[in-house]
Structure 1
Amino acid sequence: MKELSTKEVQELLKNDEPNIIDVREDDEVAAGMIPDAKHIPLGSIESRMDELDKSKEYIMVCRSGGRSGRAAQILENQGFKVINMTGGMMAWEGEVK
């Protein structure tokens, strides 16, 4: 599984519009998430895969990097291109909404 640090994702956001999926729970996301990230809680990943496009690459985000890693494995096993953001939102120093 590919991984990027929070700093690498912040750099990507300066020049690009990456597809970011936040797999945290509703109450965690309410405290703030990366702008333009799509919220799909980890428990809903399998049932909501049809909302994703296998031709695109997705950066998975959670609180610390564990749940996003699990979500990335699930999607990768289904043929999706995914990257896990290591450190999660605990290490995020960029903008939140």
Structure 2
Amino acid sequence: MDTLYFILILVVAIIAYSVITWLYQRKIVKTLNEQQFREGYRKAQLIDVREPNEYEAGHILGARNIPLSQFKMRMKEIRPDKPVYLYCQSGMRSGRAAQTLYRKGYKDLSHLEGGFKKWSGKIKVK
């Protein structure tokens, strides 16, 4: 019976953590649909946080690749005074990247709803 209580408490804790993280992300980063993203990304810093092999397979025209795995080391490449538009494959990694940037003082953060897999605009393939 103790094992059952432990598992139940663990599941509740994981769900609570997930909800709190989701609410925090909604507060710090704007989630834009494709149309909204298209309207603003040319005036912003467009960052693809996917890994290099994903980026080379296809990326939004004009995007710079700063993988989430290298993000903390390469954040200096992103200007804090300009809007930052982030995207990844599905939206999870770009949300985590936005949290990292927010903690370092970046305020104008947006990411693409649904990520690159929902993008229907122009792409570049290496």
Q: Give me the TM-score of the superposition, normalised by structure 2.
A: 0.70
1:42 maps to 2:68: yes
Q: Are 1:92 and 2:119 an aligned pair? A: yes
Task: Report if the CA contact (8 A) 2:91-2:115 is conserved.
Answer: yes
Q: Secondary structure at the match of 2:60?
A: coil
1:24-43 CA-to-partner distances (Å, cap 9, x unmatched) read: 01111111111111100001
Task: Write 1 or 2 for the structure with the bigger share of helix.
Answer: 2
Q: Which ranges of structure 2 fall in alignment gaps of 5 or more residues? A: 1-28
Deviates more, 1:72-81 or 1:59-68: 72-81
Large movers: runs of 4+ above 4 Å? none
Q: Does 1:82 align with 2:109?
A: yes
Bigger Rg, which one: 2
The one of 31, 37, 55 aligned to 1:3: 31
- Following superposition, the deviation at residue 19 of structure 1 comes to 1.4
Identity %: 39
Q: 1:8 deviation in Å?
A: 1.4
For residues 38 and 111 of structure 2, the distance between their equivalents in structure 1, rounded to whole angstroms, comes to 14
| Contact 2:94 2:111 (8 Å CA) reproduced | yes
Instruction: Give ranges in structure 1 of 5+ residues lacking alignment.
Output: none
Match of 2:18 in 1: none
